[in-house]
Amino acid sequence: MVIGRFAPSPTGPLHFGSLVAAVASYCDAKSRGGQWLLRIEDVDQTRHVAGASDDIIHTLQRYGFVWDGDLVYQSQRSAHYQTALAQLQQRGLAYPCTCSRKEIADSSTRLGIEGAIYPGTCLQHATRPSAAAAWRIKTDAQTIRFADQMQGQQQHQMASDIGDFVVKRADGLFSYQLAVVVDDALQGVTHVVRGADLLNSTTRQIYLQQLLGYPTPVYAHIPLVLNADGQKLSKQTLATALPDDNVVATLVAALTFLQQPLPDNALSLPLANVWQWAIAHWQLPKVTSD
């Protein structure tokens, strides 16, 4: 059974870029006769916008998405994440860290894919007893490789490209990297279709999957929708919320962005018929990685 998922963060309303990612994951799962799950990734409560979760759910329903199984909220799953962290702690794979961002920036001598590499200060020296501690995963010289269905072969050397990364923050919130790995495993997700902005996160997630004994899904990172300035559509770049009307035209525009074949009368079809056509004719390779 193929199981895909869409996992938006409730930081604001869905925009066109969100719709493109949702359409791609939905069509990919349904075209394989599989299930499609909806998960609200609200593990970072500091970024949660009041009412955004309900708005996301209603928007997806308005656009004709139908998810399988129960709707999952990450904010209700901390016990699962703590269990996974405890396994890593018991095996000596995670350690506490009380370094501030400034201390890391000042002491780091290497740059990785996302800035300064943590120099392992708290692994080598005692943590400050009065400071709240984050938890980091030990990395080594292992190279994680995977074949992305859209972006081709990818790889990172964990110690030099990533470094020891945080799985639980000092404020007590679990990191996205750990939460998504645990959720995908517990929900049986087999195929992850998402935006290319998350491509660099994938090796960290595979590394955690291997440490925890979880299976690794098939990944496909689709091209991002950009604004006129070449920036990813997001709340930070003031992306416009999806319209409540013109639903068919907006869905057709998303399928067009994904370079999917469409009938000449697509804009005049009922919403259900557009979905039927899109699923029946879905071709992931048509989505270029450019």
Specify the pLDDT at position 77: 97
Contact present, 167 and 178 (Cβ < 8 Å): yes
Contact present, 29 and 23 (Cβ < 8 Å): no
Same domain, 63 and 97: no
For residue range 76-120, list pLDDT tens digits in order.
Answer: 999 999 999 999 999 999 999 999 888 888 887 788 888 889 988
Q: Residue 166 forms beta bridges with which residues?
A: 136
Q: What average pLDDT does range 256-275 have in this prediction? A: 96
For residue range 12-42, list pLDDT tens digits in order.
Answer: 999 999 999 999 999 999 999 999 999 999 9
267 within a domain of the structure (yes/no): yes
201 within a domain of the structure (yes/no): no
**Residue range(s) defining the domain that contains residue 244:** 3-77+186-195+212-286
For residue range 185-215, list pLDDT tens digits in order.
Answer: 999 999 999 999 999 999 999 999 999 999 9
Q: Residue 97 forms beta bridges with which residues?
A: 134
Same domain, 66 and 191: yes
Percent of the chain residues past pLDDT 70, beyond the cut? 96
Same domain, 71 and 117: no
Residue 283 has pLDDT above 90, yes or no: yes
Residue given tokens 């018929």 in the structure block: 273
For 32, the 3-state DSSP assignment is: coil
Which string of DSSP letters, residue by residue, matches 231-287? Answer: PBPSTTTTPPBPPSS-HHHHHHHHHHHTT----TTGGGS-HHHHHHHHHHT--GGGS
Number of structural domains in the chain = 2
For 140, the 3-state DSSP assignment is: coil
Specify the pLDDT at position 232: 74
User: Comparing C-alpha atoms, which of 81, 260, 97 is closest to residue 178?
Assistant: 81
Q: Give me the CATH number covering residue 43.
A: 3.40.50.620
Specify the pLDDT at position 270: 97
217 within a domain of the structure (yes/no): yes
Q: Report DSSP state, residue 75.
A: G
206 within a domain of the structure (yes/no): no
For residue range 53-75, list pLDDT tens digits in order.
Answer: 999 999 999 999 999 999 999 99
Residue 286 has pLDDT above 90, yes or no: no
Cα separation, 104 vs 122, in Å, equals 11
pLDDT band per the 50, 70, 90 thresholds, residue 45: confident
Q: What average pLDDT does range 241-245 have in this prediction? A: 91
Contact present, 39 and 74 (Cβ < 8 Å): yes
Specify the pLDDT at position 237: 61
Of 234 and 174, the one with more pLDDT: 174
What are the two backbone dihedrals, phi and then psi, of residue 284, each rounded to the nearest 5 degrees? Answer: -55, -40
Same domain, 153 and 235: no
Specify the pLDDT at position 236: 67
Same domain, 87 and 163: yes
Specify the pLDDT at position 176: 96
| Nearby residues of 268 by Cβ (< 8 Å), 6 or more positions away | none
**Averaged confidence pLDDT in the chain:** 93
164 within a domain of the structure (yes/no): yes
25 within a domain of the structure (yes/no): yes
Same domain, 24 and 57: yes
